[in-house]
Structure 1
Amino acid sequence: MAEPLAVDSEGNELLRWSAASTDRLPLVDTVVPMPLSLMVATRGTQVLIVYNRRRGCWELPGGMIEPGEGARHAAEREFLEETGQPCRNVHPAGVATFRLRPDHRLEHAAVFRGEVHNPVPFEPTEEIEQIAWWPGSPLRGMAELDAFIARAVAMRVEAS
């Protein structure tokens, strides 16, 4: 098996990044669940990230896909809930495949790309302490798996 693309401090692994080449998410192994959607929202060359109070790290906005909800709608909903920012031009960016600890389960995450043209003031929530525009450079406390995905989407890298 190939080496993971990224590994975080807890041993979670990003195994594969499959970039979208059309207006659809890439086809993936449907035996592996896809319970999560993430948003890579850009303004110029920067990506909007959130500081998650519970996890104590910077990460991409996103969350669980609710029953009966599509992956795109989940990404848009979670983005608005976590950042309070309007996001436009949302389209599929790709699918990330993870091996997660402690049980080594495999999961896919749908990843979408959007743009924030006119940021509005941020109000902290119980979950999200702050937001920031990240230029892609090393950042203490940035989730390693999210950093890889953000760079791949913002730079349109294919790294399967």
Structure 2
Amino acid sequence: MLTFGERGDRLVHLERVDQDAERFGPITHALVLLSVPGGVVLVHNRQRDCWELPGGLRDAGESPAECASRELREETGIGPVAVRLVAVMTLDLRPSPRKPFRREECGAVFLAEHPAVPVPFESPEISAVIARPADRLPARTGELDRHLVRELWPGTER
């Protein structure tokens, strides 16, 4: 079991799937492995001061795929892009200021492709966007994100 984040959150389960993400439980968030020339796209989260895969929380009435596409557009400026479900992860999350109780949440992981390297992009949440080869991620890449790239990036079938 992978432990990640400063609070000690844990990845309980990661399963490759190509449909029906909700059979694992309600999907609360989505992440995107975006392939561009040069590798995988990462965003620098201002608050956590680390590199992450684009993604975030699902809005009410939104499908997991719609969440992934929206988050990708909001965090990289890239879109619309077709996304394809590749995995579902179950996380054991510790209490946080926003949710002061321990809980399990399911997240969907999507794969997408874009023909161009991202242009410079910033938002209140994101300070930079980069593309790196999957085997050369920046040192300050989040451990969960690093693990997802290692396990799910095309060509790394386990």
Task: Report the TM-score range of the alignment, normalised by the length of the smaller protein.
Answer: 0.7 to 0.9
Distance in 2 between residues matched to 1:27 and 1:81, nearest whole Å: 24
Greater CA deviation, 9-18 or 73-82?
9-18
Q: Secondary structure at the match of 1:35?
A: strand
User: TM-score under structure 1 normalisation?
Assistant: 0.83
Aligned 1:1-160 pairs, distance under 5 A: 4-20=1-17, 22=18, 24-26=19-21, 28-30=23-25, 33-44=26-37, 46-86=39-79, 88-102=81-95, 103-136=101-134, 137=136, 139-155=138-154, 156-158=156-158
Of all paired residues, the percent bearing the same amino acid is 30
CA contact (8 A) 2:38 2:117 kept: no
Distance in 2 between residues matched to 1:29 and 1:123, nearest whole Å: 34
Q: Secondary structure at the match of 1:76?
A: helix
Distance in 1 between residues matched to 2:64 and 2:104, nearest whole Å: 18
Unaligned ranges ≥5, structure 1 = none
RMSD in angstroms over aligned alpha carbons?
Answer: 2.1
User: TM-score under structure 2 normalisation?
Assistant: 0.84
Deviation at 1:100, TM superposition (A): 1.1
Q: Check 1:15–1:127 CA distance in 2 against 1; reply closer, same or farther (3 A cut).
A: same
Distance in 1 between residues matched to 2:93 and 2:10, nearest whole Å: 6
Q: Check 1:87–1:141 CA distance in 2 against 1; reply closer, same or farther (3 A cut).
A: farther
Q: Check 1:89–1:69 CA distance in 2 against 1; reply closer, same or farther (3 A cut).
A: closer
Unaligned ranges ≥5, structure 2 = 96-100
Deviation readout 1:138-158 (Å, 9 max, x if unpaired): 532111011111222214545
Deviation readout 1:57-84 (Å, 9 max, x if unpaired): 1111011111111000110011011001
Give aligned pairs, total.
151
